[in-house]
Structure 1
Amino acid sequence: MKENSLLGRTFDFSVNIVLFLRTLPYNDELKIIKYQLIKSVTSVGANYEESQGASSKADFNNKIRIVLREARESNYWLRLIAAIGYNSAELNKLLQESKELKNIFGAILLKGKQ
Structure 2
Amino acid sequence: MDGNKISKNLIVKLSFDFSLLIIDFAESLEQKRKFVISNQLLKSGTSIGANIWEAQNAESKADFIHKMKISAKECEETKYWLLLCKHSSQYPNSDYLLEKTEILQKVLNKIISTSKRVIS
Q: TM-score, normalised by structure 2?
A: 0.83
**Where does residue 116 of structure 2 map in the other structure?**
113
Shift of the alpha carbon at 1:87?
A: 4.5
Number of equivalenced pairs:
109
Structure 2, unmatched stretches of 5+, are none
CA contact (8 A) 2:83 2:98 kept: yes
% identical equivalent positions: 37
Distance 1:3 1:23 in 2: 30
Task: Determine the C-alpha separation between the residues in 1 that align with 2:87 and 2:64.
Answer: 34
Task: After TM superposition, give the deviation of residue 5 of structure 1 in Å.
Answer: 2.5
State the SS of the aligned residue for 1:54.
Answer: coil
Question: Given the alignment, which residue of 96, 101, 104 partners 2:99?
Answer: 96
In the alignment, is the contact (CA less than 8 A) between 2:27 and 2:38 conserved in 1? no
Q: Distance in 2 between matches of 1:68 and 1:43?
A: 10
Aligned Cα root-mean-square deviation (Å): 1.6
Q: Which residue pairs with 2:68 in the alignment?
A: 64
Alignment partners' CA distance in 2, 1:103 and 1:87: 25
Q: Which residue matches 1:51?
A: 55
Structure 1 residue 23 displacement after superposition: 2.1
Give me the TM-score of the superposition, normalised by structure 1: 0.87
